[in-house]
Chains A and B, each alone.
Chain A
Amino acid sequence: MPVHTPDFSAAFAGLERALVRRRIAAVEPVLRLEIAALAAFLAAALFWRMRLRLGSIAFAHGPWAATGEAAAALGACALLGGALAGARHVMTLAPGAAGPPWLALPIPAAQVHRHLARASRLLALLAALPALSVLAAALGIVPWLAFGALAAGFCVLLDLAARLGCRAAFGIARSRAEPLAGCDAWTRVLAAAARPLSSGRLAAARWRREGALPAFLRKDLLVTRRPGPARGRLAQPLVFGALSVLVWFVPIAPGAVTTVAIGLVLLAAAGLASWIVALAASDPFPVVKALPVGVGVVWGARVAWAALGAVALAAGQAVGAGFAPPPAADAPVAGAALAAFAVAVLGANYAITLFPRADHAERILGIALAIALAASLMFYFVGWAVLLVALLHSARRLPRWPLQEEA
């Protein structure tokens, strides 16, 4: 068979085009509409906020001050894009990550890495959505010349941030990779990514008499302690929960502290809900459905975690406000507990009623929370109403759990 020199760049370009087409095709038409509507809703909410802000700044301090404000917002968007690309690249290069056995193919490792980095950088484009809202809000307020510079600057900055994010992710992966004699860094990183997660030995099992609910709770803890999706999801509530306490010690206006703290609590609660979805996703369908347990046990275990998480977040607020240097604002303890519990229970509801489709649960949870957030950006109490409606709507399907089927 004749062999010719392969054109890797053309091959990867074709692969990337095919992957993008396939991923778009994999999104159901209804979901595409949902995502488009949600994106438009969020963009409109952000546009409205920014328009008011830039308008008032321009009125008070002139158009160049508004330009500075818009530039700062666009910079934040670019940073967000860079963080998204970096986070995605960390996962791509993590041990046990899904993907073809690259090292088994006759392709230079550096070429493979360029392809993986391009795929990760695509995620940074999500940051273009809020950036477009900011630019639209700046239209007619900032000078035309500055508007063009802002748009072009954002594109450059987003690309730079995404590249930096991927480079940082590669640095992390390289620091974790084993030294292999005669191998370049790309090969070492790919070898580490292809390595299956180590099995090792686990702690001895505890055989004890306990009810089904405590058994589920203990099992959830064991699952979370091991490397896997559940453990990965726990990072968000822990990080944002800790930040929501630490923010009380930042010397900013008391009113602003309360707003930032509740925002961080909500982010932690969303992470808690996502962790609960991951826990439910770890339940093997044939095992759970063949067990003599009803929906009360499975749902109850997850709601118990939601309650525990909400109490911890509220306690964090009380502690943060209690120890914060004066003048401290009142801690939003009750609000934090209620909001966190509602968000986490929403996660539990979707995880149980859409079981075993964790991807659907995650998606619907994201849509519901995004709508509640967008509604809150417009009118604070509308967000609560949206959350309550979502809770009630999802809870209505709980009794159908025994009849749910594996897709």
Chain B
Amino acid sequence: MTLRIHGLRRRFGAVVALDGVTLEVKPGEIVGLLGPNGAGKSTLMRAAAGLQPPDLGQVHVEDVDLWREPIAAKRRLGFASEHPSFYEELSADQYLAFLAAVRGLEPKAAAARAGELVERLGLKGRTDEPVRGFSNGMRKKLSFMAAILHRPSVLLCDEALEGFDAPAALYARETLRALASGGTAVLFSSHVTEAVERLCDRVIVLHRGRVVHTLARAEWGLEAPGLSALERAFLELIRSPAAEVPA
């Protein structure tokens, strides 16, 4: 369950978005992708997800070449987008059921997993409404659910958790950890360095379309993933009985 990207190159006119990017995410590893705006993070993610063909280079998902055998590779791949888009007319449930059918998932198991994700990410009671009416945070949550519904071998998160409320963000991070424990290779792009710091085992720094540095967890000092003091206080507050709002 490895993601291997080799020599990825992509130009948009005179702008070189990716300039020979090579990286690998091993099974069970969560690798952060950091970089300033315009560094090429989203282009890299989209090329790795099969949305944007590179000019040069290869993407391998578990030794399957994404651009030569796209269907086989995409069966193993999950992608949570920075700007999620959906069938706006469908409900969240209908959308997830469609994805489950197209991916050939066992219906009962897929429905149960979707139900669990919906509950834990705080969308319960809203999944029979058209996605059109969803807030930005709800759309991000649905995109994240769609990306992990099939427990992918390789997961690409492009600023996917930005916009989540604190409990959902915590659950999403726990889920990513659990997926990684099960062998999923996760490439996690974000502008929020705290999230990357707490979640990732390794960080790749992208600048002007090139990998300029790789940092191991030991290099930034935090020994294990955790919560910030504010997050801890907030979670304690909203989980306390006093925070329950009567119906």
A interface list, Cβ under 8 A from B: 196-197, 199-212, 214-216, 218-219, 222-223, 225-228, 230, 282-287, 289-294, 402-403, 405-406
Besides A205-B111, A219-B87, A402-B50, 13 new A-B residue pairs in contact (Cβ under 8 A), listed by A number: A199-B132, A201-B129, A205-B93, A207-B110, A207-B111, A214-B101, A216-B102, A223-B90, A289-B49, A290-B79, A291-B74, A292-B103, A293-B71
| Contact assessment for A228 and B84 in the assembled complex, using a CB-CB cutoff below 8 Å | no
| Contact assessment for B52 and A405 in the assembled complex, using a CB-CB cutoff below 8 Å | yes
For B58-99 the 0/1 string (1 means CB < 8 A from A) is 000000000100111111010101011111111101101111
Report 24 cross-chain contacts, Cβ distance below 8 Å, ordered by A residue: A199-B132, A202-B128, A205-B94, A205-B97, A209-B107, A215-B98, A215-B101, A215-B102, A218-B101, A219-B90, A222-B87, A222-B94, A227-B89, A228-B88, A228-B89, A286-B46, A286-B81, A287-B85, A290-B77, A290-B79, A291-B102, A293-B102, A403-B53, A406-B51
B130 on interface, CB distance cutoff 8 Å: yes
Least distance between B152 CB and chain A CB atoms (Å): 10
Contact A291/B51 with A199-B132, A284-B85, A284-B86 known, Cβ cut-off 8 Å: no
B244 on interface, CB distance cutoff 8 Å: no
| Contact assessment for B129 and A207 in the assembled complex, using a CB-CB cutoff below 8 Å | no
Which residues of chain A are near B96, meaning CB under 8 Å?
205
| Contact assessment for A204 and B89 in the assembled complex, using a CB-CB cutoff below 8 Å | no
| Contact assessment for A226 and B90 in the assembled complex, using a CB-CB cutoff below 8 Å | yes
Which residues of chain A are near B86, meaning CB under 8 Å?
284, 287
Determine the distance from Cα of A188 to Cα of B67 in the docked complex, in whole angstroms: 54
Provide the main secondary structure of the chain A interface: loop
For B98-136 the 0/1 string (1 means CB < 8 A from A) is 111111101110110000000000000000111011000
Contact A200/B51 with A219-B87, A226-B89, A227-B89 known, Cβ cut-off 8 Å: no
Which residues of chain A are near B51, meaning CB under 8 Å?
285-286, 289-290, 405-406
Across chains A and B, which 4 residue pairs bring their CB atoms closest together, nearest first?
Answer: A226-B89, A205-B93, A284-B85, A199-B133
Determine the distance from Cα of A196 to Cα of B132 in the docked complex, in whole angstroms: 10
Determine the distance from Cα of A201 to Cα of B91 in the docked complex, in whole angstroms: 8
Least distance between B5 CB and chain A CB atoms (Å): 16
| Contact assessment for A208 and B130 in the assembled complex, using a CB-CB cutoff below 8 Å | no
| Contact assessment for A222 and B89 in the assembled complex, using a CB-CB cutoff below 8 Å | yes
B146 on interface, CB distance cutoff 8 Å: yes
Contact A292/B100 with A199-B133, A202-B94, A202-B130 known, Cβ cut-off 8 Å: no
Of all chain B residues, the one with the shortest Cβ separation from A210 is B101
Least distance between A195 CB and chain B CB atoms (Å): 13
Counting contact residues on chain B (CB < 8 A from A), the size range is 35 or more
Least distance between A302 CB and chain B CB atoms (Å): 15
Determine the distance from Cα of A282 to Cα of B87 in the docked complex, in whole angstroms: 6
Least distance between B88 CB and chain A CB atoms (Å): 7
Least distance between A160 CB and chain B CB atoms (Å): 38
Which residues of chain A are near B52, meaning CB under 8 Å?
405-406
Which residues of chain A are near B94, meaning CB under 8 Å?
202-203, 205, 219, 222
Partner of A212 from B83, B88, B101, B111 at Cβ < 8 Å: B101
Determine the distance from Cα of A74 to Cα of B13 in the docked complex, in whole angstroms: 51
| Contact assessment for A197 and B129 in the assembled complex, using a CB-CB cutoff below 8 Å | no
Which residues of chain A are near B111, meaning CB under 8 Å?
205, 207
Which residues of chain B are near A284, meaning CB under 8 Å?
85-87
| Contact assessment for B102 and A207 in the assembled complex, using a CB-CB cutoff below 8 Å | no
Determine the distance from Cα of A285 to Cα of B88 in the docked complex, in whole angstroms: 13
Determine the distance from Cα of A225 to Cα of B130 in the docked complex, in whole angstroms: 12
Which residues of chain A are near B129, meaning CB under 8 Å?
199-202
Determine the distance from Cα of A246 to Cα of B132 in the docked complex, in whole angstroms: 38
Determine the distance from Cα of A200 to Cα of B86 in the docked complex, in whole angstroms: 18
| Contact assessment for A286 and B101 in the assembled complex, using a CB-CB cutoff below 8 Å | no
